[in-house]
Chains A and B, each alone.
Chain A
């Protein structure tokens, strides 16, 4: 009688410890997903901050490209004013497209390409585009780890008990967003 009680008690304690371990692991993974998401936000904001400078520097050289600048400025304000995630994704896609077009046009202005200040801004912009795509890559990696963990047996039981929900991948909608603007150095 007593031994059975002890055995049951030991199993119960082991089970509780296991659940605690899995729970903590899931929390850590979920925090990593959230952190990766905020990293994308940081980089998108950085892109918004860079654009006025870039436009200001390039304007003096590119007098006949008003539409290009207008498209960028408009896409930027739309992206900054976006309320929902899907809205933001769409606006950021348009902004990326406008920037890619702009960087293509720059090829026709050798004087601009010789400007040290502009070259520095161009490196910053190219790097920010990279950072956005790497942040997205890291976010998707983290989501993959997290989703795998909450769907696989036996951790899915713990996930179900405490309401750990599945997270969505950051899918790239427009083909322009998929392709990072090409910048040659």
Chain B
């Protein structure tokens, strides 16, 4: 596992530098296209942009990604089981600090982890995930995310997410500018320079810049993809090791993949690779997909057998995919523990109600159980000290509104 962490740290540095090279190269060529002497200026501007981005993504990249996914921090009262499961996995992984917990108000089941390192990590899960999974499955998903934290994948993903977003943005801006100026014929602005540089040379440079602007985001994304798929497999292996129960994650992945509902609405191209399962249901093909095929992941987890370890997972991986993992990991096999009784799965309508209650609890609703069995859900702006039960007409005391988590 130490080899894995070292490798990931090295990959993060490589990614950081390659993204810098792509960004500065893009700056130089766009600078040259805009102005014949803009070569150095373009490069400098890109360097500054990169430095600013690097600072931002290192200091608050996780907050940006969480905000972009509309994730909200929650307290233990909102979902005690989620907190307990995260704490259990924190203990199993031997992390010194429990990650902060966020919930995304979306019915599509999914989850991700972000942060710089184990000390500043956060885990976000959707309300749909909490409603649809049982305890063992939730534990599998949380263990997968904790493994990302443990393997230092989160720094890489956070950096890549912010940098990739910036490269896409700059290319987009430039391409739009080129098309607009050519459409309105505003190239007259550059007529003074055009006299000094032959028009053809300038045209070639502009064409080059357009090509670079189109290729740079693709290049950056490919680089990102090349490494992110292996990480998913390794996080699955880590989850099996932490829980000692690969079936939990396997069955969770199955449920997420077969979810009939609409896809996650808050996911974007830059944030999609963070999630445990690709949030885009259709469109992206295998080559451009950031995630390995989910059926393959499930099959590997189910063919692990009776003892979990890196070596055992690697064996199952080879057995299912006929390839081998690019990492050599040695460790002792550890016995699989029996699953806890999962309990009956709630009906779809009950799941729907659970998800709704969760959102209400996040929004400061108070829940009151009347002795007659009716559960009253009191909105945060209800200020009276008591309420009449609509079923049995009993007068009930309303607890003080709890501080809504912000």
Is the pair B94, A36 in contact by a Cβ cutoff of 8 Å?
yes
Is the pair B341, A184 in contact by a Cβ cutoff of 8 Å?
yes
| Chain B nearest CB, measured from A144 CB (Å) | 6
Is the pair A130, B80 in contact by a Cβ cutoff of 8 Å?
no
Of B85-93, B182-190, B203-211, which stretch is located at the interface?
B85-93
Interface residue count for A (Cβ, 8 Å)?
27
Is the pair B91, A182 in contact by a Cβ cutoff of 8 Å?
no
Q: Which residues of A contact B87 (CB under 8 A)?
A: 127, 131
A-facing residues in B349-400 (Cβ within 8 Å): 369
| Chain B nearest CB, measured from A53 CB (Å) | 14
Is the pair A183, B91 in contact by a Cβ cutoff of 8 Å?
no
A105 to B122, CA, bound (A): 39
Q: Which residues of B contact A179 (CB under 8 A)?
A: 338
A32 to B96, CA, bound (A): 10
B-facing residues in A130-169 (Cβ within 8 Å): 130-131, 133-135, 137-138, 141-142, 144
A184 touching B343 in the complex, CB below 8 Å, given contacts A36-B94, A123-B80, A144-B332: yes
Q: Which residues of A contact B334 (CB under 8 A)?
A: 141
Q: Mark B336-350, 1 if CB is under 8 A from A, else 0.
A: 011011010000000
Is the pair A183, B88 in contact by a Cβ cutoff of 8 Å?
no
Is the pair A185, B134 in contact by a Cβ cutoff of 8 Å?
yes
Residue of chain A at shortest CB distance from B84: A127
Is the pair A134, B340 in contact by a Cβ cutoff of 8 Å?
no
Residue of chain A at shortest CB distance from B80: A123
Task: Please report A residues at the B interface, Cβ cutoff 8 Å.
Answer: 32, 35-36, 39, 43, 116, 120, 123-124, 126-127, 130-131, 133-135, 137-138, 141-142, 144, 179-180, 182-185
B55 interfacial by beta-carbon distance below 8 Å = no
Residue of chain A at shortest CB distance from B244: A137
Is the pair A183, B340 in contact by a Cβ cutoff of 8 Å?
yes
Residue of chain A at shortest CB distance from B81: A123
Is the pair A131, B91 in contact by a Cβ cutoff of 8 Å?
yes
A28 to B85, CA, bound (A): 27
A180 touching B340 in the complex, CB below 8 Å, given contacts A39-B91, A134-B91, A144-B332: yes
A120, A134, A180, A184: the one within 8 Å of B80 (CB): A120
B135 interfacial by beta-carbon distance below 8 Å = yes
A180 to B244, CA, bound (A): 14
Is the pair B88, A134 in contact by a Cβ cutoff of 8 Å?
yes
| Chain A nearest CB, measured from B364 CB (Å) | 18
| Chain B nearest CB, measured from A29 CB (Å) | 11
Q: Mark B309-352, 1 if CB is under 8 A from A, else 0.
A: 00000000000000000000000101001101101000000000
Q: Which residues of A contact B81 (CB under 8 A)?
A: 123, 127, 185
- Provide a sorted-by-A list of 24 A–B residue pairs whose CB atoms are within 8 angstroms: A32-B94, A36-B94, A43-B91, A123-B81, A123-B84, A124-B84, A130-B84, A130-B88, A131-B87, A131-B88, A131-B91, A134-B91, A134-B92, A134-B242, A135-B92, A137-B92, A138-B91, A142-B94, A144-B332, A182-B341, A184-B341, A184-B343, A185-B134, A185-B343
A35, A116, A127, A141: the one within 8 Å of B88 (CB): A127
Is the pair B93, A124 in contact by a Cβ cutoff of 8 Å?
no
Is the pair B80, A185 in contact by a Cβ cutoff of 8 Å?
no
Residue of chain B at shortest CB distance from A140: B334
Residue of chain B at shortest CB distance from A148: B332
A137 to B143, CA, bound (A): 14
A43 to B92, CA, bound (A): 12
| Chain B nearest CB, measured from A41 CB (Å) | 12
Q: Which residues of A contact B338 (CB under 8 A)?
A: 179
Residue of chain B at shortest CB distance from A132: B91
Q: Which residues of A contact B244 (CB under 8 A)?
A: 137
A182 touching B340 in the complex, CB below 8 Å, given contacts A32-B94, A137-B244, A142-B94: yes
A179 to B337, CA, bound (A): 9
Q: Which residues of A contact B84 (CB under 8 A)?
A: 123-124, 127, 130-131
Q: Which residues of A contact B343 (CB under 8 A)?
A: 184-185
Q: Which residues of B contact A144 (CB under 8 A)?
A: 332
A142 to B343, CA, bound (A): 33
Q: Which of B94, B135, B242 gathers the greatest number of chain A CB atoms within 10 Å?
A: B94
| Chain B nearest CB, measured from A116 CB (Å) | 6
A184 to B88, CA, bound (A): 17
| Chain B nearest CB, measured from A24 CB (Å) | 14
Residue of chain B at shortest CB distance from A135: B91
Q: Which residues of A contact B340 (CB under 8 A)?
A: 126, 180, 182-183
A56 to B319, CA, bound (A): 53
A135 to B94, CA, bound (A): 8
